[in-house]
Amino acid sequence: MSMKVLLLAEHDGNTLNPSTARALACANGLGGEVHVVVFAASAGDVANAAAQLEGVAKVLTVERTENGAPLAAVLAPQIAALADGYDAVLAPSTTFGKDVLPRAAALLGAPQVSDIMEVVDAGARTFRRPMYAGNAIVDVKVPEGVKIIGTVRTASFQGAADGTSAAPIEAVSVAAELPSHSEYVGLASQESERPDLQSAPRVVSGGRGVGSEENFKVIFSLADKLGAAVGASRAAVDAGYVPNDMQVGQTGKIIAPDLYLAIGISGAIQHVTGIKDAGIIVAINKDPEAPIFEIADYGLVGDLFKLLPELEEAIG
Amino acid sequence: MKILVTVKRVIDYNVRVQVRRDGSGVETDGVKMSVNPFDEIAVEEALRLREAGVASEVVVASIGSADCQQQLRTALAMGADRAILVRADDVDMQPLYAARTLLKLVEKEAPGLVITGKQAIDDDCNQTGQMLAALWGRPQATFASELKVDGDSATTVREVDAGLETIRVQLPAVITTDLRLNEPRFVKMPDIMKAKRKPLEEIALADLAVEAPPGLEALTYAPPPQRSRGEMLEDVPALVSALKSRGVL
Ligand SMILES: Cc1cc2nc3c(=O)[nH]c(=O)nc-3n(C[C@H](O)[C@H](O)[C@H](O)COP(=O)(O)OP(=O)(O)OC[C@H]3O[C@@H](n4cnc5c(N)ncnc54)[C@H](O)[C@@H]3O)c2cc1C
């Protein structure tokens, strides 16, 4: 029996977030028919982008003004109502998916598999996920007769590419009573011309060793030279050097760039868990004993303020 | 207003967690246990709301074996007024089960606010607060880095991937904490003594008549694939040529 899979699209009202294509790669691994659902005030461009992705059988749009903001309390009852016709419901394990999907799962009375890294065996309903900040990897089975509900650890999957033809887009209306107890006020985000941290092939991160907000310009400068996104350790964020959305790690973003440079970062497990799937890790730290060197492919011991300008120069 | 705060007993965050050789779980023998760090932040936030006159009582709750008393005592020593331990020995207490159990406590205690950690650092599920809010039919504000209670609503700044999002929710509501919400206070010796005399009520899980939900079956545990220690290089030119040879520059 082939599974019917519902995948929740993540978007900002205008563009489809790349995490959706990555979660789709996981959904395709279930070996069934995948429908992507877009909740929006107006789904146009986002639905079109989703319809292009390889492996999407259909895009559903649920358009109503209340869906103009990503409020979990508003979206969850609609997801739960739509889920009726599906064997599995997936969402990316971003802050959006983490917020909304457990709420839908509870309404459905089903357990959720958080942070799926791998579909071990779709027929056996088994999935692999990390626990203990990635220090243990567990295989779990969703019991027979229970809907599969899961968030997808996007760093574990390559984003599905665009397919050769566009999937049909169907507007649906969902009968669900929506609460009025939650109100979206707004989003403060740093407008940046730099690549997106979660999907960039190269990332340069700075830690407490960078020392100040002002000093962080050496990190930005190297990143610009490399066309890289910029990340940070929690210590750097807490100290106010950079905003919270740049945090990499257990409680920040889990990323898998081809090249990761950790600059003035000691390498605490909570940070390292966010970069385990990176291709090549480079560490620059003045302390030769820093734990980051234990997982780095290449290490340089020295003062970052001396080494970074040299590195920029050498890259040319 | 009463605030209910959840407190989970977990392996201390400084412990290097080891998977048992037979793959049956992780080593817990002789391992230091603590309050889940996000829950500690939840307790701190509740205490600050009480100190600001917004809340009148802070009740902390845990679900698990008798050992959880230690973590509840820590929360009491921080300043919580009383504690409830739902005794669930040898129960696989997954998030949905915990949420259904907490709902029973919420019905009993009628809090104006429930504050939970955004995730427990053992299973890293990040589900229980959201699930409780769903079952309770009340708003949720997850990953909070700022919380302002104003009469019968709360304004929360949430740490989301795109930046900082603000939402306003009517009370009662469930808030889940992120790391930057506050810095928990240190517990002082006299407070530990005082905490011993604070009320800690035990309720048997069976007495709450919680319907056990379906759960995930954990099959095997394995250590993560290890990244091995790479090369220490002499200087920047060595790094650049190494990266070039690997095709990433
Ligand atoms: C529940 C929980 C969750 C957490 N989640 C995260 C998370 O998601 N992400 C995260 O990053 N952390 C997280 N942490 C925090 C983590 O434990 C560490 O405290 C943090 O990663 C340390 O950041 P850091 O390496 O920048 O700072 P430090 O540990 O202070 O290291 C600074 C490094 O800079 C080096 N240095 C200093 N000056 C120079 C110089 N001039 N040149 C070169 N090197 C220099 C030092 O040698 C040192 O190694 C979490 C903690 C907890 C308890």
Q: What kind and span of H or E run contains B11? A: strand B9-11
CA dist B69 and B196 (Å) reads 10
Q: What tens digit of pLDDT does each residue of B54-101 get?
A: 999 999 999 999 999 999 999 999 999 999 999 999 999 999 999 999
CA of B55 vs chain A CAs: smallest distance (Å) = 21
pLDDT band at residue A273, thresholds of 50, 70 and 90? very high
Residue B223 has pLDDT above 60, yes or no: yes
What integer pLDDT is reported at residue B241 of this predicted model?
A: 97
Listed in sequence order, the residues at least 6 apart from A165 whose beta carbon sits closer than 8 Å to its beta carbon are: none
A178's tokens: 């929506």
Calculate the alpha carbon distances from A207 to A76, A202, A256, B1, B23 in Å.
37, 17, 18, 41, 35
Q: What tens digit of pLDDT does each residue of A164-216 get?
A: 999 999 999 999 999 999 999 999 988 788 999 999 999 999 999 999 999 99
B122: closest chain A residue by CA: A132
Contact indicator for A239, A105 with CB cutoff of 8 Å: no
pLDDT average, residue stretch B112-119 = 98
Residue nearest to atom 26 of ligand 1 (CA): A207
What integer pLDDT is reported at residue A316 of this predicted model?
A: 79
pLDDT average, residue stretch A264-276 = 96
Cα atoms in the 13 Å half-sphere on the side-chain side of A258 = 13
Mean pLDDT over each residue of chain A, to the nearest integer: 96
Residue B203 has pLDDT above 80, yes or no: yes
pLDDT average, residue stretch A115-125 = 98
Q: Which residues on neighbouring strands pair with residue A59, listed in sequence order?
A: A36, A169
Contact indicator for A197, A228 with CB cutoff of 8 Å: no
Backbone angles phi, psi at A269, to 5 degrees: -55, -35
Residue type, A15: T
Q: What percent of chain A has pLDDT over 90?
A: 96
What integer pLDDT is reported at residue A181 of this predicted model?
A: 98
- Ligand 1: residue of A208, A212, A305 to mutate (most ligand atoms within 8 A of CB) is A208
Cα dihedral A258→A263→A269→A271 (10° resolution): -70
Nearest C-alpha neighbor of A3 from the set A33, A41, A36, A39? A33
B232: closest chain A residue by CA: A299
- A204 CA from centroid of ligand 1 (Å): 15
Residue A1 has pLDDT above 70, yes or no: no
What integer pLDDT is reported at residue B51 of this predicted model?
A: 98
A215 within ligand 1 shell (Cβ under 6 A):
no
Q: What tens digit of pLDDT does each residue of A80-102 get?
A: 999 999 999 999 999 999 999 99
What integer pLDDT is reported at residue A2 of this predicted model?
A: 82
pLDDT average, residue stretch B5-17 = 96
Q: Where are the alpha helices (DSSP H) in B25-151?
A: 37-51, 68-78, 95-109, 128-136
Calculate the alpha carbon distances from A203 to A189, A224, A229, B91, B92 in Å.
19, 10, 5, 43, 39
Mean pLDDT over each residue of chain B, to the nearest integer: 97
Cis peptide upstream of residue B172 (ω within 30 degrees of 0): yes
What integer pLDDT is reported at residue A193 of this predicted model?
A: 86
**What is the maximal distance between C-alpha atoms in chain B?**
69
- B147 CA from centroid of ligand 1 (Å): 26
Residue type, B119: Q
pLDDT average, residue stretch B109-129 = 98
What integer pLDDT is reported at residue A233 of this predicted model?
A: 98
CA of B79 vs chain A CAs: smallest distance (Å) = 25
Q: Do A297 and B230 touch (CB under 8 A)?
A: yes
Strands (E), chain A: 4-8, 33-40, 56-63, 88-92, 113-116, 118-121, 126-131, 136-141, 148-152, 169-171, 182-188, 202-206, 229-232, 259-263, 280-285, 298-301
pLDDT average, residue stretch B146-164 = 97
Kindly list the residues from chain B whose CB atom is less than 8 angstroms away from the CB atom of residue A249. none
Test mutation, A22, A107, A108, A112, chain B, max B CBs within 10 A: A112
pLDDT average, residue stretch A224-253 = 96
Q: What tens digit of pLDDT does each residue of B31-59 get?
A: 999 999 999 999 999 999 999 999 999 99
Three-state DSSP at B188 gives coil
Residues in chain A: 316
Please identify, by atom number, the ligand 1 atom nearest to the C-alpha of residue A211.
Answer: 38
Residue A37 has pLDDT above 70, yes or no: yes
Three-state DSSP at A51 gives helix
Residue A15 has pLDDT above 80, yes or no: yes
CA dist A132 and B25 (Å) reads 11
Task: Tell the residue number behind the tokens 């400068």, with chain if given.
Answer: A221
Q: What percent of chain B has pLDDT over 90?
A: 98
